[in-house]
Structure formats: structure tokens, C-alpha cells
Amino acid sequence: MKIHGVRRVMRAGRVRAEAEVEWESGAFPTRTLYFETSEDYADSFEARPESFLMACVPLACWYGEARVQLRGPICPVLFENAAACAHVMRRFYPELRPPKIEVELGLEARKPPQPTRTAAMMSGGVDALALLRMNRLDYPLDHPHSIREAVCVFGLHGFDHDVDGADGADPVPERLAAWEMLFGRLAGLAEREKFSLVPLYTNVRSFCPDYLVWSTAVYSPLTVAGVHCLTGRFDRLLLASDGVGVESEDCAASQYLYHCFSSAALDVHGELDVVSRQERLELLSQWEEGRALMQPCHWVELPEPDEINCGHCEKCVRTMLGLLLTGTLEATEAFPADDVAPELVERLWIASPQKLQHVLTLAEPLRRAGRRDLVRALRRLERRTQRRWEKPRTRPTAPA
């Protein structure tokens, strides 16, 4: 894989970092990868080769590229971490071969901005909101570890871009509009909670069209990659784990992988490693504003215009079951339902064994809560899903 022409351009009120990505194996055609933000943040946005290296190494590793070549220069910390990222992937998928990283202009360390400033990834989901809430409870606003910036990314869902458009880079108008509504809600939260909300747009998801590969193998480094273009604003980035923590069987959610995202200018921390998803919901159940804003929805189908979540995807239903256990589902504005019907649970489409395990962890708490109807629905879901998996793959397989 070759990364050509890393550059910074201004276009339509935004500043963009872009480069051409050439697949030497012929797996995909050469295309432009980009990261961009509002021109309001142009002074602290650079076209950093580190962003493209962090995005491309996991893809090259997965799709069998022998090397990743770029001009550079590259931060020595991120150079080592990008290589380590590929080796962590091999730990989960032994058939993978980490690509060689070749940098024409060598290594060059960058200094972090001063003073120290902390940012977080902010999707509006349960994990991101729980991270913000716990941070606010643990640190005063003037502490260096207090979250004062947050990055909200458009382009991480499989249907966000028109893959038949130019470079797969044309946002689908309806999905961009839905994300802008989300950003608007979170901007209100940012004002009240005293942090800056920074938009980041990317087409990186279109470089990995396979949902299983994205969700279990590569989403975390590709999600964080573009933030290295923003490191003039902060030197510490917090990324909430998936609620399974150190026991995660998904490569992309592994705490081993989270340690591979840092550069000398940006220290990336995985957070909430030992806080379960249900404990996060317990925390948010006591925070009315967080309950009102939470948007865990997979966005396979966009919610209705006056709704925040679709209310019937796997992640929505799993969150609703968790809120039911906290006794706050009825009081949660983000979901219009006051209860969860067993039929809704039974109809869920589960993509992987890990996601099935996530939802099945709720069976015992629901039994103790007296909701045997939902426990029976979960067991029927388990049997139906296992039958469906007898032939189709449920774990991504690397190309030969």
C-alpha cells in the first residue's frame, strides 16, 4: 500500500487533510482518504501523515498488503505504535501478516501543545456519555485531566457515504442531516458542561465496507486516526472501552490495541476498563441530561425525525433492557417506549458471538427482576441466532 500526496486544502467552509491510498495487491482501486473539520478550527488542524498511517496500517494488515509506504516524516512513537497495532491484530487473527512500514523522510518527533489539555471522543452513546459524566465527577474543571474538548465524528456508519460517488466520499444527505441534529444536541451539552465540541468528517469507513471486519477488527484505530490532525488543540485523548474491558474478545475493542494509538504529541488513553455497561447505565440513570441525550443506536435505519434512536436495533434494545433494570426506562426521553416487549427481543438481528454475549449478560439480572418473559425471549433469540450461524460466518476471515 502506498500513501501519496498528503496535503491540506480548504473547501466549502471546511479544512481538509487528504491523500491518495494505492493498494499494491489490487484489493481495491486507488482512492482519496480524507479527514476534515470546520474552518473554525483551521488554525489547529494539520495534514498529518500520522493520521493516514494509523488508518492504513490496520487495513493493509487485514487485506494482505506487504507494506505501507509514505513520504512522512512520521512521529517515532506513532511509527512504533502503528507497527504494534498490526501485531496486536495478529494476536487475534494468526493468519494475518503485519505489513512493513516504509517512511521516505524518516522519523521526526512532535512536541505536544502547552498547556496540557484533555479531549475525549464523543459519539453521544452510552460509553462516551458515561466517560464524560465520570470525568466531571472525578475532576474539577481546572484540572489537566478534565475533559475540555470532545471530537464528534461523521462517517463511521456503513451507510454514511455513497460508495458509488467520487472516491466513496459523497455523504448521503439524509444521514449527514441526522448527524448534524446529533451534533446540535451535543453542542448544547458541551455549552452546559464547559467543553468545546469539534466536528470531524471522514470517509474512512468506506475503506472497510465489511461490517464484521469493521466492528470486530479495525474500527477503533480508524476512528481515532483523524484526531492526530487536531493535536494542536490538546495532548491527551480519552476513549471509552466497550463495556467488556480487558476480557473483550473483539480485536478492535481490545485494551492491548488502545495503547497503540498514541504519538509523542497525543497520548491516547482507553478508559472505563473495569466499568461494565450496566454500571455505566446506572451512572447515567442518575443524570437526567445524559439520559435525555443518549444515542446508542446503530443507525442501520435512521430514527424518525422527532426521535433520537430507532428503538429496535440490537444496541437500542440492549440499552433499553439495561435502563429497564435501573428503573429509568420510562423516564428516559431518548427512548419513547416505557417497556420492552418480548417480541422485540426475539426479532433482534445479532451480527457476532460477542454481540450475542453482550445481550445475554442481561438474562440473569432480568430473572432476578422478575422479568421471566424477557429471559425466555433472550433464550429464544439465542437459539434462533445459533441456528442462523450454522452456515454463515460470524467471525471475519482475512483474505487469503
Mean pLDDT, each 10-residue run in order, the chain (400 residues): 97 95 92 96 96 98 96 97 96 95 96 92 97 98 97 94 71 94 97 97 94 91 97 93 71 85 95 92 95 93 90 95 96 93 96 88 97 98 91 62
Q: Where do the domains of the chain lie?
A: 2-271, 296-388
Given a contact cutoff of 8 angstroms between Cβ atoms, the answer to whether 326 and 282 are in contact is yes
pLDDT of amino acid 250: 79
pLDDT of amino acid 305: 82
Given a contact cutoff of 8 angstroms between Cβ atoms, the answer to whether 221 and 263 are in contact is no
Report the half-sphere exposure of 259 (CA within 13 A, side-chain side). 8
Residue type, 219: Y
pLDDT of amino acid 162: 84
pLDDT of amino acid 114: 86
pLDDT of amino acid 103: 98
pLDDT of amino acid 394: 56
**Cα end-to-end span (Å), the chain:** 17
The residue behind cell 473539520 is 37
How far is 277 from 112, CA to CA, in rounded Å? 33
pLDDT of amino acid 400: 55
How far is 243 from 275, CA to CA, in rounded Å? 6
What are 119's strand-pairing partners?
149, 237
pLDDT of amino acid 355: 87
pLDDT of amino acid 167: 55
pLDDT of amino acid 351: 86
